[in-house]
Amino acid sequence: MARALTPLKIVSVLVGLLVVAGIVLYLVPSNDYLLLPDPAHPVAPLVRVQGGHDPKPPGAIYFVDVFERRASMFEKLFPSIHKGATLVPARLILPPGVSDQASHLADLREMTISQRVAAAVALRQLGYHVPARPSGVVVAALDSNSHAIGKLQPADVIVSVDGVSTPTIAGLRARLSKLKPGDRTTLRIRRGDRLLTIRVRTTADTVEPRRAIVGFAPEQAAEITLPIKVQIDAGNVGGPSAGLAFALEVMEELGRNVDRGYTVAATGQLNLDGSVSPIGGVRQKIYGVRAVHADVFLVPAAGDNAAVARRYAGNVRVIAVKTFPQALRALATLPLKR
């Protein structure tokens, strides 16, 4: 004759089932991604400038990145188990039609571009002549309605349209203006070290329906000739958001006391004209800044970057900047820290 389970045994069985269910949910991947904080990193070990020297303490420049990985089903249900984490749909991390590997390679190409731009901006600020010749149009992000999905990738550089060179954004738009929405066009693109040719059907601009577009956010590419050698090695970290921090470090290594004795973290995409564009993952980045007990965090003034950073800043002073010169002026107003 079977014995009835005691209440204690029933509880034990239920707990065991819950543990097994939790383990299974933790092992099964979801369709969403987690953005996780990573402690800010000192820039000085990554930068070498001809004729420059590593700055001496006190003070240092830091850059901040974000861990991105696919969330498990358990993490999707309970993302708050990770402090500072944000759950986001995969479409916001992986561009349409782009694999994980291709997306990471695109991030690395963006990092390479940002390093070159950072060096150019910093050297120009120091009075060097830094020639920059337009060399094409960078695909910053693809529109979800673009017919180029699966053909173009972020960080691709479009160098010609229908056999006509398009070194500038204006030149690209002028060439596309000769087409009607729905027409097919041939794009010559540079992807890393490779030159590729793709055929794409245009679509209509949502603002000007008669205007043909490919459907992507453009940025200007340029061949930059640096007057002195600048080497920046961020390893396997990708993306353009460390540009502002890199430029500050180049100036530090050439003898400018930019940090004024403070631990200064910075994030922001630096453009060739010195403007600073907003970036993603600010909530995670401010946690990364707090982890190294930084005094100051420079963030882009555009968008909601500054508002988000200040919400989670704790004792960190958040300074919003629109341009690289403005960032330098803001730091110059801080009293020397000894």
The 3-class secondary structure across the chain, one letter per residue, is CCCCCCHHHHHHHHHHHHHHHHHHHHHCEEEEEEEEECCCEECHHHEEECCCCCCCCCCEEEECCEEEEEEEHHHHHCHHHCCCCEEEEHHHCCCCCCCHHHHHHHHHHHHHHHHHHHHHHHHHHCCCCCCEEEEEEEEEEECCCCCCECCECCCCEEEEECCEECCCHHHHHHHHCCCCCCCEEEEEEEECCEEEEEEEECEECCCCCCCEECCEEEEEEEEECCCCCEEECCCCCCCCCCHHHHHHHHHHHCCCCCCCCCEEEECCEECCCCEEECCCCHHHHHHHHHHCCCCEEEEECCCCHHHHHHHCCCCCEEEEECEHHHHHHHHHCCCCCC
Each residue's pLDDT expressed in tens, for the chain with a length of 338 residues: 455 556 666 566 566 656 555 565 555 677 888 899 999 999 999 999 999 998 888 899 999 999 888 888 878 888 888 888 888 888 777 766 677 777 777 787 888 889 999 999 999 999 999 999 999 999 988 888 899 998 999 889 999 999 999 999 999 999 999 999 999 999 999 998 899 999 999 999 988 999 999 999 998 999 999 999 999 988 888 888 899 999 999 999 999 999 999 999 999 999 999 999 999 899 999 999 999 999 999 999 988 999 999 999 999 999 999 999 999 999 999 998 87
Say yes or no: do domains 30-129+225-332 and 132-224 share a fold. Answer: no
pTM of the model: 0.84
Ranges of each domain in the chain = 30-129+225-332, 132-224
* CATH, domain range 132-224: 2.30.42.10
Which CATH class, in words, describes the domain spanning 30-129+225-332? alpha beta
